[in-house]
Amino acid sequence: MDKKAKDFSELSIHQKMEFLIKDMVEREIRFRDGLKEFQKLYIEAASKKFEGNKSRMADSLGIHRNTLHNKTKSLKINKF
């Protein structure tokens, strides 16, 4: 692991997100597009962790299973 990766891994989640958001603002990524991408990646990571078990995913994300279903549909996530 190089020094930059090690330094990044030692940052708090808040600091990591702050770094990412500053980059997104610099690149003029629209708020809606950034939020959509964040939600999509978050759900895909939960799907991988819980092997597609939607009940466990919804529970870990703190949302209702129906909300998860609707969100995956609206974000066009088909990896379950």
Enumerate the domain spans of the chain.
3-74
**CATH tag for 3-74 (out of 1.20.1070, 1.10.3210, 3.40.470, 1.10.10):** 1.10.10
pTM over 0.85: no
Spatial neighbors of 14 by CB under 8 A, at least 6 apart, are none
- Return the number of other C-beta atoms located less than 10 Å from residue 57's C-beta: 22
Q: What is the pLDDT of residues 6-48, one digit of tens each?
A: 688 899 999 999 999 999 999 999 999 999 999 999 999 999 9
At residue 68's C-alpha, the angle toward residues 33 and 61, to 5°, is: 85
Res 7: pLDDT: 83
At residue 52's C-alpha, the angle toward residues 76 and 72, to 5°, is: 20
Q: What is the pLDDT of residues 48-62, one digit of tens each?
A: 999 999 999 999 999
